[in-house]
Amino acid sequence: MEGWHYPRTELAEQYLGLLALGINSSLAIIAPRRKGKTLFILQDLAPLSQKKNYIPVYASLWQNINAPHEGLIAALEDAIASFDKKSTLSRLLNTKIKKTAVSNELLGKMEVEFADNPSKPTSKELAYLDQLLNILVEKSGKKTVLLLVDEVQHLSTSSQFDPLAHTLRTMLDKRQGKVKSIFTGSSRHYLDLLLNESKSPFYHFVEEKKFPDLDVSFIEFLREKLARNHQITIAIQPLCKAFSDLDQSPYWMMKLIAQMITSKASVKDSLEYVHQLMEATEDFEGISKRLKPIDKLVFLALCQGANPYSKELMAKIDKYAGVKGVPSNIQRAIKRLSEANLISQIRKGGYNIEKPGLKRYLEQQN
């Protein structure tokens, strides 16, 4: 929906300020999917970085999920071409924003998060990638290249991508001061493998920053737009509750707003419509079928903040899951949930829920 972007300029200033300190030249912005990271990068952070003497280059590692190096190559080729054509990078960013908006509308099929036929880049392709960055640095002159890499956790989902991870780290190492980077990631499990495992090339290389949820000012922004542009007056409480029910996702909240406008629907009816849309798009039915009974019980317990090794849960597993409620079985369930990107384990203890909407679906099936 054009004209509905909620600007987060202060947050963009904060991230760029961290890079300006010079303590670290790489940041990772972390949040689950549908939290607005990509549009924030393209519409807030990248334009602001241009004003601060950066050349922003956006690349998505999901452009070709089986060959993530192709997304990096295409992004660098586009940036170099914009210099050669003497066109503005703003035009290039606007094109990517439009492509993102179009892809966001392609609902009805599950977006693939894992490669089904991962391809290892050739040594020639990796050398070409390094060459492209070198050309861009030279063309940038006194400006700093800011590499914006979306869904960077994808590098840790297959060993086929290890050469790309090593090459990318080396590329950034060689050009510290001339190239800085901001990564986004939507899987805390695979990000942890990439950034915090001692064998990873990115071990302790990147400063991790949480991408904060939007607050009530975002809801006020929506209320004002509804009243001014569409003569729809609504109290703030039901909108706040709907936002909470949608896991504070701006993506799904905008689907609710669109439904209210186009169908003249109430918040309640629009919320029900979006929940159905979410279930279809996120393939909750398919996920549910692939989960073992013990996996579902452990997932729901973690959603409630319960101890997965409690006597209560073990007894429930004994009764309903068809397997013994013992620690070894629960550990295997947690491992399956992590590898499916449904949860991630915090190193200091505790768990993150990566698909919170799944909780509501599973509870409804019981």
Residue 207's φ and ψ, nearest 5 degrees, are: -85, 120
Query: In this structure, what token pair is assigned to residue 183?
Result: 């990564």
Q: Which is it for the CA torsion 214, 217, 221, 223, positive or negative?
A: positive
Query: In this structure, what token pair is assigned to residue 275?
Result: 């929940």
Question: If DSSP codes are grouped into helix, strand and coil, which group holds residue 179?
Answer: strand
Give the pairing of strands 351-353 and 343-345.
Answer: antiparallel
User: Which of 154, 159, 71 shows the shortest CA–CA distance to 114?
Assistant: 154
Residues 6 or more apart whose CB falls under 8 angstroms from that of 243 comprise: 214, 218, 219, 253
Q: Cα–Cα distance between 353 and 342 in angstroms, integer?
A: 6
Q: Return the pLDDT at 114.
A: 83
Q: Return the pLDDT at 87.
A: 59
Which run of H or of E encompasses 20? helix 9-20
Q: Provide the residue type at 267 as one letter.
A: V
Which run of H or of E encompasses 171? helix 162-174
Q: Return the pLDDT at 186.
A: 87
**Which class for 305: exposed (0-12), middle (13-18), buried (19 or more C-beta within 10 A)?**
exposed
Contact indicator for 357, 284 with CB cutoff of 8 Å: yes
Q: Return the pLDDT at 365.
A: 82
Q: Which long-range contacts (CB under 8 A, 24 or more apart) does 244-248 make?
A: 245/271, 245/275, 246/271, 246/274, 246/278, 246/357, 247/32, 247/34, 247/356, 247/357, 248/35, 248/213, 248/214
* Separation in Å, CA 284 to CA 38, 84, 280, 365: 23, 46, 7, 11
Q: What domains can you pick out in the chain, each with its CATH number? A: 9-210 (3.40.50.300), 216-281 (no CATH), 284-365 (1.10.10)
Q: Return the pLDDT at 175.
A: 93
Q: Return the pLDDT at 107.
A: 45
Tens place of pLDDT for every residue, the chain, 366 residues? 678 999 999 999 999 999 999 888 999 999 988 999 999 999 999 999 999 999 999 999 999 999 999 999 999 999 998 887 765 666 666 666 656 554 544 444 456 678 889 999 999 999 999 999 999 999 999 999 999 999 999 999 999 999 999 999 999 999 988 999 999 998 888 999 999 999 999 998 999 999 999 999 999 999 999 999 999 999 999 999 999 999 999 999 999 999 999 999 999 999 999 999 999 988 999 999 999 999 999 999 999 999 999 999 999 999 999 999 999 999 999 999 999 989 988 766 688 898 888 999 999 887
Contact indicator for 100, 58 with CB cutoff of 8 Å: no
pTM, rounded to two decimals: 0.88
Q: Return the pLDDT at 184.
A: 95
